Structure 1
């Protein structure tokens, strides 16, 4: 735990509005660092879960931190926004910015509601801090909005403090971030944020103090760069498929160039989740509004390459199954958009499973954490409670999310469960040589074809087609 620095001034009291993935994590970690924190949400179910010490989503290490924070007495939760306004000196607003229906734009309805609801209630000098990913210019517009609503006018200030959390590593990224960015308009606002982050700044964490517009741009620029790097290597995978080259070896060679590096050069199904897809679309939309859409037009192809990976994975599975998916039993290993998460928003794995189902395949999904969320989204798919149950009598196994359980699976063990030793590695997470040496036919995006050494079961599809499971 980081200790608060000694100071003649009392530590600011913190509120966190919005207790989803970002907000709950931020509230818990601020309390762990020693601050008095009040978390708030309009959803009473979330609040009750958190009060009971239960995190409403899967994130490694966070339940333990929640228990510690509640036991310390420094963390409470409420649905009363009058209480929030009275309690806090620094208010972090962590509500969602989903993609607007029928548009690439960000839906700012939740952000605007959170800021205005709080601004109308605050009666003493305070700082509102946005952490949500928003289009450039949002903070300036919100500043004007809250000062018109606020009973204290310009004494209610606004700052922007973008988050850089990675699902699966949220606790680490909050307590030990690789950088902090403060978007501020006054020395007072900067001093408030420095007081809040004093335990982290005291460890030497780099700090960028910027204007509001730059602080808004940092997050969307970072996400756009990462998405571009992922789609670049997947574009190279398409070239490799057409030429017989090996994208894994290509990525390895590229990664040894210090100017490029190895991170995010993993070929496969591509990116998903609640951030990268919607953020690059919202960035393009906002750039068009600002008259600079041509500057980021390449993000349209980044998005298109990413989506093509899902269709191409289905193509590989279909090819491996003999050209027709009707009645083919497919074990879909993974539903979450990444391992160590139960998030299925825009998840490539679940999208592939749905496309297989629409072509008539008998799809059984297993994910160590995301089965429940996946079932709510696509109830027509079959769901298994274990990897063994999912692959039992499968004609094709498809690894779609690279959970460690799947990476470490024994090919011989799986061979004793399936009908046919056919596997598509959608994440380049498996040892191809190990599988092929044990009789599997292995396929992966951008990877040279490797045939297995045992014959196919010719009657497998006919048998599976008559099985109602």
Structure 2
């Protein structure tokens, strides 16, 4: 099947490569010429494990190409819209500029029977509006909303072996002609047993917003419990283990720490609240304001704990921050709590060094005033305190006995509760976790 993918950022580049891996003939389209040049050379313009190898593999077959010309979409039977929907400046709502531009720009190149598939996360009601534009220009084309559920660091596997498909079609009917087309696109994972659900447009749009809101709520819940545990002298890790044994709750996403970040959860829950307000259902999502507030409060709490760890003052203290990306196996620093904390520490007078295996170039563009060090061993030299803020495996595996010889003072704040507290304390470290005695 011939497929076009419009937007070759994180979502689009991965989707284009994976569709070619499934055997389709794919053209990826993006207005960013530098991005197209990188992808055409089988180099992803961001870090995602396995993606460079996949790009090389599928480009050697001739099934994948990239261009900045939207006219290249002509002749494809299926067109995926994978552009970004960032948060509006100064507002909570989603900026649909790129989605609207992609949809309207595609209209002249559509043929009867073509299927336009939205994968971007959009406010509910967007699909119905775009479907109206589509009908006016090409009445025999179809719009489907097919939300993505990628995890950064696992995006290739999540695309090739997803846990579910959601197809949002105009009438919500299994008999809609676009359903059979998408089943053909996803024939391999469908044959492997991936379930799918056919809904109407609004339900499909709400699925991603609702899923991200639930995950954000679960994370903020356990972080709220961490605050209570600190006040009560309890251990939030054991608390999470205990309540996670209840299969109605589950243990996943019950890891107390510095909170969530990245390009999805923060902006998606804010856009969800904004859209609910526009629909007159704002009271239904008021709890998300507290979810967001708890999340942001974690960053301030870590700064407070770092000050306590440094004998009550950050002024002139040499602090090494381990991690800049919002999560491991990613170079994404969008709304990164680790990077935000590093900046706050510096504003309060600390001498901050940030290290990260993959995200330093992006971090330097975001906060050029911070000091960055690529080599972790160099970064920790003569530090008065270490803050583990992104749980890269290499930081989890650090040897506290060997590391104690490099630092000025053996003090560590485990912002992700992933270190063995007993082992670090036995090695002479002053260890602090979040929500742990």
* Band the TM-score falls in, shorter-chain normalisation: over 0.9
1:333 alignment partner, one of 322, 327, 350? 322
**1:121, distance to aligned residue in structure 2 (A):** 2.9
**1:323, distance to aligned residue in structure 2 (A):** 1.2
Residues 234-253 of structure 1: pairs in structure 2 closer than 5 A: 234-253=223-242
Measured in 1, the distance between the counterparts of 2:162 and 2:72 equals 30
Structure 2 unaligned runs (5+)?
none
Structure 1 ranges of 4+ moved more than 3 A = none
2:311 alignment partner, one of 310, 322, 335? 322
Residues 284-303 of structure 1: pairs in structure 2 closer than 5 A: 284-303=273-292
Q: Deviations over 1:394-448 (max 9, x none)?
A: 0010000000000000001110110000100000010000000111000111111
**1:123, distance to aligned residue in structure 2 (A):** 4.0
**1:87, distance to aligned residue in structure 2 (A):** 2.8
**1:184, distance to aligned residue in structure 2 (A):** 1.1
Partner of 1:160: 145
Instruction: Please say if residues 49 and 329 of structure 2, whose CA atoms lie closer than 8 Å, have aligned partners that are also in contact.
Output: yes
**1:231, distance to aligned residue in structure 2 (A):** 0.3
Instruction: Please say if residues 15 and 87 of structure 1, whose CA atoms lie closer than 8 Å, have aligned partners that are also in contact.
Output: no
Q: Deviations over 1:322-349 (max 9, x none)?
A: 1111110000000000000000000000
Instruction: Please say if residues 165 and 196 of structure 2, whose CA atoms lie closer than 8 Å, have aligned partners that are also in contact.
Output: yes
| SS in structure 1 at match of 2:4 | strand
| SS in structure 2 at match of 1:155 | coil
Q: Deviations over 1:129-152 (max 9, x none)?
A: 10000011110011112333x2xx
Measured in 1, the distance between the counterparts of 2:368 and 2:111 equals 48
Instruction: Please say if residues 400 and 425 of structure 1, whose CA atoms lie closer than 8 Å, have aligned partners that are also in contact.
Output: yes
Partner of 1:115: 103
Measured in 2, the distance between the counterparts of 1:117 and 1:161 equals 20
Partner of 2:243: 254
Partner of 1:402: 391
Q: Deviations over 1:167-224 (max 9, x none)?
A: 0000110000000000112611111111111111111111101111110010000000
Greater C-alpha radius of gyration = 1
Alignment TM-score, normalising by the size of structure 1: 0.91
1:29 aligns with 2:14: no
Q: Deviations over 1:280-329 (max 9, x none)?
A: 00000001111111111100000000001110000000011111111100
Tell me how many residue pairs correspond in the alignment: 433
Measured in 2, the distance between the counterparts of 1:437 and 1:83 equals 63
1:135 alignment partner, one of 103, 123, 128? 123
Q: Deviations over 1:252-285 (max 9, x none)?
A: 1111111111100000011000000000000000
Partner of 1:68: 57
Instruction: Please say if residues 75 and 111 of structure 2, whose CA atoms lie closer than 8 Å, have aligned partners that are also in contact.
Output: no
